[in-house]
Amino acid sequence: MVNKKVRWLSKNEAVQFGFKPKENAPNRSQNRYHLTSEQWEQLKDNRSLKEEVKTTTKPNDYKESKLVLSAWDNDGFMMDIDKYCEVYGLPRNDISSYKLVSHTGTPFYNIVFKETFIDEEVKTIDFESIIKKYIEPLSVKADTIKLGYTFDRLVYTDVHIGMTTNENGYSLYGGKWDEEEINLRLDYLIKHTISSKKSNVLIIDELGDFMDGWDGETTRKGHKLPQNMDNEKAFDVGLGFKIKMIDSLAPYYSKIICNNICNDNHAGSFGYVVNSAFKQIAETRYKTVTVNNIRKFIDHYFYGKHCFILTHGKDSKSLKFGFKPQLDTKQIEKISNYIDQHDIKAKSDYVEFSKGDSHQKVFDESTSDSFDYYNYGALSPSSEWVQTNFKKGKSFFEVFNFKSDGNKIHNPYKFEWNIGRKENFNDYSL
């Protein structure tokens, strides 16, 4: 027999625990109900959370509503955490703590997963079964193509969401990298891609380090990272970035292919989790969109006469030294061996080795007769650590239009460093 005690509940609290609400007792806003010890502990947590929200939080200015997984079941009863995980396909054994959030209108569980959730063999949530409950597929109609062009290609890398460039206000060059600035640069990326459009096919290659790092650390745990977002905030900003990008570009193309590098030295499994969510949302919303999340250190694909070999440049744990902006003899040999082993030259006329990581734009079409070596500049500005140890750097993304004869048009975009930067000038002559 379960031991229950009489507790005073409001009508809303009674409904949350599956009771039929009673009329409030005389001169009170509550009535008595029999609760188990577990229900009582849950109630105390809920009340504590409400007080915390009242006293510490500020209204959020959300431009888009967030997806909430309701804790109500189909019969109108509140689900416990076990039932909640069963219904939505969440890994119950990977949860370290949880709280029922009931003050938002739709009750849901705020879940914290164990640290092992983010590792090399990351256990992903069954996003497909969750998202299909809430997202309707959309149909799009692309504009007409420019004669003679077969596909467009957008390349960006090293977004480093969560990174700060000037934590204490004393970095060499300052700069700004927060949610506002990230979305500002995303707007430029979207507009420039649309204005450069010459075909109905778009390939989007994201070359890694999309997220800055989990818990302020790189994947190898040897480098502490100054960050301006916690993991949860960074996830929201990163996923929002990807969704806004695809929602904005999908109406202009009859086919979009997104390739995301997920084996890198900063984002690692964190990047993979963000891109897994993005894949399920994008492919559910758009039949015209395909998302490939690449976990190999080096991978490649073909389109027409072209082959693109993709890598971040440094991996998550194995490679001692990454690919340099300027190739040495050993690295030329490594790339050439990769091309030979995969018989790439027999299947294509043009080979590009595409990498990020270095935060430097260096396009080398002369070192090798077998391939072009393209280092892509970062979308983000330089971190405080990079400013101190290396150089200020420049920020880019690139758009290409490929013709049926193998030639291409290059439409680069370079950001001004001082966007968002404020500085006081000392003039002692005044």
* pLDDT tens per residue across span 283-325: 988 999 999 999 888 999 999 889 999 998 877 665 656 777 7
Computed from CA positions of residues 222, 226, 231, 235, in that sequence, does the dihedral angle turn out positive or negative? negative
Query: Across the chain, what does the average pLDDT equal?
Result: 77
pLDDT at 40: 77
pLDDT at 248: 93
Residue 426 has pLDDT above 90, yes or no: no
Computed from CA positions of residues 56, 59, 65, 70, in that sequence, does the dihedral angle turn out positive or negative? positive
Residue 123 has pLDDT above 50, yes or no: no
pLDDT at 35: 79
Residue 1 has pLDDT above 70, yes or no: no
**Amino acid letter for position 36:** T
Per-residue tokens: 323: 């690919």
C-alpha 395/C-alpha 381 separation (Å) is: 6
Residue 266 has pLDDT above 70, yes or no: no
pLDDT at 84: 79
For the chain, the domains span 4-113, 149-415
pLDDT band at 93 (very low <50, low <70, confident <90, very high): confident
Q: Which of 142-146, 207-211, 216-220, 303-307 has the lowest mean pLDDT?
A: 216-220
pLDDT at 105: 60
pLDDT at 72: 75
Task: Please state the three-class secondary structure of the chain as a single string.
Answer: CCCEEEEEECHHHHHHCCCCCCCCCCCCCCEEEEEEHHHHHHHHHHHHHHHHHHHHCCCCCCCCCCCCCCCECCCCCECCHHHHHHHHCCCHHHEEEEEEECCCCCCEEEEEECHHHCCCCCCCCCHHHHHCCCCCCECCCCCCCCCCEEEEEEEECCCCECECCCCCCCCCCCCCCCHHHHHHHHHHHHHHHHHCCCCCEEEEEECCCCECCECCECCCCCCECCECCCHHHHHHHHHHHHHHHHHHHHHHCCEEEEEEECCCCCCCHHHHHHHHHHHHHHHHHECCEEEEEECCCCEEEEECCEEEEEECCCCCCCCCCCCCCCCCHHHHHHHHHHHHHCCCCCCCCEEEEEECCCCCCEEECCCCCCCEEEECCECCCCCHHHHHHCCCCCEEEEEEEEECCCCEEEEEEEECCCCCCCCCCCCCCC
CATH of 149-415, picked from 1.10.1200.10, 3.90.420.10, 3.40.640.10, 3.60.21.10, is: 3.60.21.10
pLDDT at 189: 95
Q: How far is CA 87 from CA 80, 109, 181, 322, in A?
A: 11, 13, 38, 44
Contact 383, 165 (CB under 8 A): yes
CA dihedral 293, 298, 303, 305 (to 10 degrees): 180
Which of the given ranges, 121-130, 334-343, 418-427, has the highest pLDDT on average? 334-343
pLDDT at 300: 95
pLDDT band at 203 (very low <50, low <70, confident <90, very high): very high
Higher-pLDDT residue of 94 and 372 is: 372
Considering only the C-alpha atoms of the chain, give the largest distance between any 2 of them, rounded to a whole number of Å.
Answer: 89
The answer to whether the predicted template modeling score (pTM) of the entire model surpasses 0.75 is no
C-alpha 204/C-alpha 242 separation (Å) is: 11
The predicted-structure confidence for 213-243, as pLDDT tens digits, reads as follows 665 555 555 566 667 788 888 888 999 999 9
pLDDT at 234: 86
C-alpha 173/C-alpha 303 separation (Å) is: 41
pLDDT band at 170 (very low <50, low <70, confident <90, very high): low
Per-residue tokens: 303: 């389109």
pLDDT band at 58 (very low <50, low <70, confident <90, very high): very low
Q: Is 342 left (phi over 0), alpha (psi -120 to 50) or beta?
A: alpha
pLDDT band at 245 (very low <50, low <70, confident <90, very high): very high
